[in-house]
A and B are shown apart, each in its own frame.
Chain A
Amino acid sequence: MDAENVIEITELSKQYPNGKLAVDSLSLNIKRGEVFGVLGPNGSGKTTTILMLLGLTEPSGGRASILGLDPLRSPLEIKRKVGYMPDTVGFYDELSGYENIDYTARFMDFSAEERTRRMQESLEKMRLTKSMHEKVRTYSHGMRRRLGLAEVLVKQPEIAILDEPTQGLDPESAAEFLELISTLNRDENLTILLSSHLLNQVQAVCDRVGLFSNGKMLISGSVDELSRQIIGGQYTVSVIAAGSGLRDILSGIEGVQSVEQAEDWTYRIECESDVRAPLAAAITASGGQLFELSMQQHSLDSIYKTYFKEAANADTSA
C-alpha cells in the first residue's frame, strides 16, 4: 500500500527562549490512514512537535508540512482540516458540554443546521448524548476526554492529533478510549497522530511508533520491526530445568540465537521462532528434568527499556 504522506517533517528544531532545546532536528513522515504513536517520556518534545505542526508555536529551524500546507503560512487552512486534542484538555466549567463544543464549532464556517447535525452525530459517537446539556463541571475525566474527541470529530478532519489521549484515565477507560480511536481510524480512514508516555497502553492501536527522547526520534517502525531491531530475536523463552551441560545442548538447537544462564537452573533463550517443543525434547533426551518452560512476547515497554539501556550504555562508553 503506497499512500501519500500527509505529514512531512524535515529537520525540525525548536529552542525555547530559556535555551531549552525541545526538539532537535526531527524528521518524520506519516502516511494517510496511519495511526502513528509518538512515544517517549515527559519532556521529550512530543507536545512541542505537535504544536509546531499546527502553527501554534514557531519552529527555530527546519520545516514541517501537513496536508501539503506550511503551518507558518496557512495555519487557518490546516486548523480547518486537522483536529487537535491537547494533553490537558480543558473546558469552560460553567457551560454545558454542548455549549462548549458549540463555541469551537462556530469557528468553522458551517451553516447552523450543518453545525447542529455534526455536533449531534459526534456527541452520539462519543456516547455523550445523554449528558450533553449538563455542566462540564459535573463530567468525569473520561467524559471530558470523550468530549474533547467529540470536538475533534465535529470538524470531520483528515488528520486527528491527540496529545496524551489516555492521560489521567483509569486502565479500563483508557482501553475503551483507545478502542474508540481505532474504530475511527478503521471506519473513517482517519489519519491519527497520538502521543503517549504509556507504551503498553497504546501499542495495540498504533500501526507505527516512534520513540522520542530529548527532542530526537531515536527509532521508528511497527512494534514487530522494533522488537526485531532492538532485541534481536523476536521471542524470549525462559526455561527452568536441571541437568548437566544443558547450556550447550540448548544452544545447538536450530533457531536459537543465544542462551543466557540467569541462575543455576534458569535459562533465558533468545530465538527467531517458537522452539518450545524442540527445547523440551532436547532437555528430556539429555536426561535433564524440565520444570518450567514459557515464552514471552516483547511489549513495547521492554523494547523501550532495552533501547534506552543500550543508548545509555553507548553514551557512557563513548
Chain B
Amino acid sequence: MQIHQREGSALTGLKVVFVKELQDYTGSVKMLILIGLILLTAMASVYNAAQTLRSAVGEDPFLLLSLFTVAKDPVPSFSSFLGFFVPLVGIALGFDVVNREFQNRTLGRILSQPIYRDALLFGKVLGAVAALAIVLLALWLLVIGSAILFLGVPPSGEQVARAIVFYLTTVLYGGIWFILAMLFSVLFRQPATSALVAIALWLLFTVFWPMISGLIVQGMKGSVHPLTLAHIQQGLARLSPNTLYGEATLAILNPSTRTLGPVVFTQLQGAVMGTPLPFAQSLLLIWPHFTGMAAGLILIFTLAYVRFQRMEIRA
C-alpha cells in the first residue's frame, strides 16, 4: 500500500464552514424554542431563589453563588435546571449535523470544493460549540445581572471566579452531549434515528442510570466491604456525565463542600465543619471531573472523526 502525502492544509476552508454553521444556528427555529424554554425556567428558578435569599442578605458571604443553587419547592435550582436542559441543547445542535448534509445531498457539492473533510467536521464542531457558548454566556450574564438587581449586592472576586468555572463546566457538559449527538449523526443516515438514539441515551443517564447503578450495587451487597461498595457505587454513577456535572457544580458553587466521595470519620479529624474551602481547593476537588469530561469529549470526537473520514460519499 502506497503512502500518500496530502498537499495543502487540512484546515483550508475551516473559517467558511464555521461562519456558515454559526449563522445557521442563530437563525434556526429549534434553537430559538430551546433557548426560550431555558430562559423561562431559568428566570423562574432565579426569581424563586432571590425571594428566598432576600432575607439572608448580609449573612451569606456567597450570595451570588447561592442564587445558582438555592431551590424552593416546587421549582428546582438553576444549576439542576441546567443539568437537565443543557444536554437537550447539545443534542438539538448535533443530532443532524452530518446526516442532514447527506439527506440534502449537499455533501458531494461541498466536498468537491477545495476543502478536506477534516475542515468540514472541525468547522461544524467549532460552530456548534461557539453557538452553545454564546447562548450559555448570555444566560449566565442574565442571571448575574438580575442577582445584582434583585439583591443589590455586588459579587466578590472569588464568587465571580467560581461562577466563571461553573460557566466553563456547563459549556463542557453541553459539548459532550453535542459531540455524542454528532457521533450518532455520523453513524446513522436518518436524522430521526440519530435524534431518537441521542434522546434515549439522555433519558438513560438522567432517569435510569441512578436506578441501574443502585441495583448493581445492591446485588453486590454482603460480598464486598461496605467502603469498597461505596466506591463502586460512586464509580458507576460517575460514568454518567450528568453525575459528573452535578458533582462539579456542587463543589464549585458550594464552597463548604469538602469532598465528593465517601469519607471515613478519621479523615474529618481536625476539620472545622461548615467553613468554606478556598477557590483553588474547590478547583482541585473538581479537577478530575473536568478532565474526565474533556477526555470523554475527545474520545467521542475521535470516533466520529475516524468514521466520517472513512465514510463513502456514495450510499
A residues bordering B, Cβ < 8 Å? 16-17, 47-48, 51, 54, 56-57, 70, 72-77, 79-80, 83-86, 88-93, 103-104, 106-108, 148, 151
Contact = CB atoms under 8 A, between A and B. Distances in A.
Interface string B3-43: 01111100011001000100000000000000000000000
A316 to B, nearest CB: 31
A56 B313 contact: yes
A247 B106 CA distance: 60
A48 B7 CA distance: 22
A73 B7 contact: yes
Given A86-B112, A88-B105, A106 B16 contact: yes
B108 A75 contact: no
Contacts of A86: 105, 108-109, 112
Given A79-B113, A103-B20, A104-B113, A90 B105 contact: yes
B16 A103 contact: yes
Contacts of A107: 12-13, 16, 113-115
A90 B48 CA distance: 49
B81 to A, nearest CB: 31
A108 B114 contact: yes
Contacts of A17: 312
Contacts of B20: 103
Given A70-B4, A84-B109, 5 more contacts: A17-B312, A51-B314, A56-B313, A90-B105, A104-B110
Contact of A91 (B104, B112, B114): B104
B116 interface: yes
Interface of B: 4-8, 12-13, 16, 20, 104-106, 108-116, 312-314
A73 B112 contact: no
Contact of A77 (B8, B106, B110, B112): B8
Nearest to A88: B105
6 tightest CB-CB pairs across the interface, nearest first? A90-B105, A107-B113, A86-B108, A84-B112, A76-B8, A72-B4
Contacts of A148: 109
Main secondary structure of the interface of A (DSSP, over half): loop
A127 B314 CA distance: 31
User: Considering residues A17, A75, A84, which has the most beta carbons from chain B within 10 angstroms of its beta carbon?
Assistant: A75
A47 B104 contact: no
Contacts of A57: 312-314
A54 B116 CA distance: 12
Nearest to A80: B114
Contacts of B113: 79, 104, 107-108
A183 B89 CA distance: 50
Contact of A76 (B106, B115, B314): B115
A197 to B, nearest CB: 16
B12 A56 contact: no
Given A93-B104, A104-B110, A77 B312 contact: no
Nearest to B117: A56
A69 to B, nearest CB: 9
24 contacts: A17-B312, A54-B112, A57-B312, A57-B313, A57-B314, A70-B4, A72-B4, A73-B7, A75-B6, A77-B8, A77-B114, A79-B114, A83-B112, A84-B109, A86-B108, A86-B112, A89-B105, A90-B106, A90-B109, A91-B104, A106-B16, A107-B113, A107-B114, A151-B109
Nearest to A17: B312
Contacts of A73: 4-7
B116 A76 contact: yes
Contacts of B106: 90-92
A39 B46 CA distance: 67
B276 to A, nearest CB: 51
Nearest to A161: B112
B4 A56 contact: no
A79 B91 CA distance: 33
Nearest to B28: A94
A56 B109 contact: no
A72 B106 CA distance: 22
B104 A92 contact: yes
Nearest to B15: A106
Nearest to A48: B314
Contact of B109 (A16, A89, A108): A89
A86 B102 CA distance: 12
A76 B114 contact: yes
A12 to B, nearest CB: 14
A1 to B, nearest CB: 29
A80 B8 CA distance: 12
A56 B111 contact: yes
Nearest to B311: A57
A62 to B, nearest CB: 12
B225 to A, nearest CB: 50
Contacts of B5: 73
A76 B7 contact: yes
A54 B107 CA distance: 14
User: Considering residues A72, A106, A107, which has the most beta carbons from chain B within 10 angstroms of its beta carbon?
Assistant: A107
Contacts of A91: 104, 106, 109
A151 B112 CA distance: 11
Nearest to A47: B314
A60 B286 CA distance: 49
Contacts of A85: 109
A90 B314 contact: no
Contacts of B4: 70, 72-73
Nearest to B108: A86
Given A48-B314, A51-B313, A75 B116 contact: yes
A107 B109 CA distance: 12
